[in-house]
Amino acid sequence: MGGQRLEDRAAYLERVARDVRLNIVRMIYEAQSGHPGGALSAADIVTALYFDIMNVDPSNPHWADRDRFVLSKGHACPVWYTCLAMRGFFPTKELSTLRKFESILQGHPDMKKTPGVDMTTGSLGQGLSCGVGMALEGKMLRKDYRVYVMLGDGEINEGQVWEAAATAAKFKLRNLCAIVDKNNLQMDGYTHEVLPMDPIDGKFAAFNWHVLSIDGHNMQEVLAAFEQAREVRDKPVCIIAETVKGKGVSYMEDVRAWHGKVPDHNQYERAIREIQGV
């Protein structure tokens, strides 16, 4: 993708992200269970990673030199599963088995069951620690791969996130890039009401991270941030992405209840129409 203009890459990714969003809603409706809000807020960023930024080989999911992705906010896994399937890690027809008995697509990510899932997650606040370990391995072996960890802005309530942040800075893990999907909602309400963590950028900066702040739904900004992050020499990078929970489905946007709720039939059809833009 490197030779193409940023505008063209972004336009392509916006089309892919539309299909990603369609699949997220379809999967959750089919499963009658799951977390649409946080999957939709993360959709543009995860799409950019898998369809432009990350160096992966779907035919060899365990390729030692691949870039890694850890979805620390594991409940948003429909977005990850969709991107992996659309990228060719496994057939898209598997998406209809989300959360079902004996599926390769568990309710939260399972690295032993799903091709392309680099780390088991789902218990919040711990994925950044795993990312630190992966990045430390890459640094020790002098490999070029990069590690991307997506965090929710709710799960950074967990103290372990900040243990990991300090550790990443200690080891100068420039191959580690955290993305905070800052949709401003967590399960019980707005993040500033449940447990205020702002300023998040100031906190990561104080932990000696290089911090970038972007609009997480602006594909050009997303791409530019990941490219800038690659250039940082001696620090881990945190991208604070302002997003909207439920992005793309009007009645879900910025509504707390859509953290873990399934649309009924009418809502489902409306969601599909809205995402398709018809």
Partner 1 sequence: MVMRKAKKATRKAFAERMKEYGAHDPSFVVFEADIGYSTYSYLFGDEYPDRYFNMGIAEANMVGAAAGMAAGGRTVIACGYGVFLSMRALETVRTFICYPNLNVKFLSSHGGVTAAIDGVTHQATEDIGMVTTLPNMSVVAPADENAARAMVEVAVNTPGPVFVRAMRDPLYNIYDADETFETGGSKIVRDGADITIVSYGDILFEALEAAEELRRMGISAEVIDMYSIKPFDKATLLGSLEKTGALLVAENHQKRNGLGYELAAFCLTNKPVPFDHLGLQDTFAESGNYYKVLDKYGLSHNHIVAAAGSVVKKKQAEVAFA
Question: Where on the chain is the footprint of partner 1 (CB under 8 A)?
Answer: 64, 70, 110-112, 118-123, 126, 128-137, 140, 160, 163-164, 166-167, 170-171
Rg over CA atoms, the chain: 17
**Judged by CB, which is closer to partner 1: 171, or 268?**
171
**Judged by CB, which is closer to partner 1: 79, or 161?**
161
Residue 36: cis peptide before it, omega within 30 degrees of 0: no
Residue 82 has what DSSP assignment? H
Please report how close the Cβ of residue 225 comes to partner 1 at its closest, in angstroms. Answer: 23
Please report how close the Cβ of residue 100 comes to partner 1 at its closest, in angstroms. Answer: 19
Q: What H or E segment, with its residue span, contains residue 150?
A: strand 147-152
Please report how close the Cβ of residue 71 comes to partner 1 at its closest, in angstroms. Answer: 13
**Judged by CB, which is closer to partner 1: 46, or 130?**
130
Query: What is the C-alpha separation between 138 and 243, in angstroms, rounded?
Result: 30
**Judged by CB, which is closer to partner 1: 47, or 106?**
106
Please report how close the Cβ of residue 68 comes to partner 1 at its closest, in angstroms. Answer: 8
Helix, strand, coil shares of the chain, percent, nearest 5, are 50, 10, 40
**Judged by CB, which is closer to partner 1: 108, or 270?**
108
List of residues 6+ apart from 45 with CB closer than 8 A: 150, 179, 181, 216, 222, 241, 243
Using a 10 angstrom Cβ sphere, with 0-12 exposed, 13-18 middle and 19 or more buried, the burial of residue 202 is exposed
Please report how close the Cβ of residue 166 comes to partner 1 at its closest, in angstroms. Answer: 7
Q: In the structure encoding, which two tokens stand for residue 162, read together?
A: 């900040």
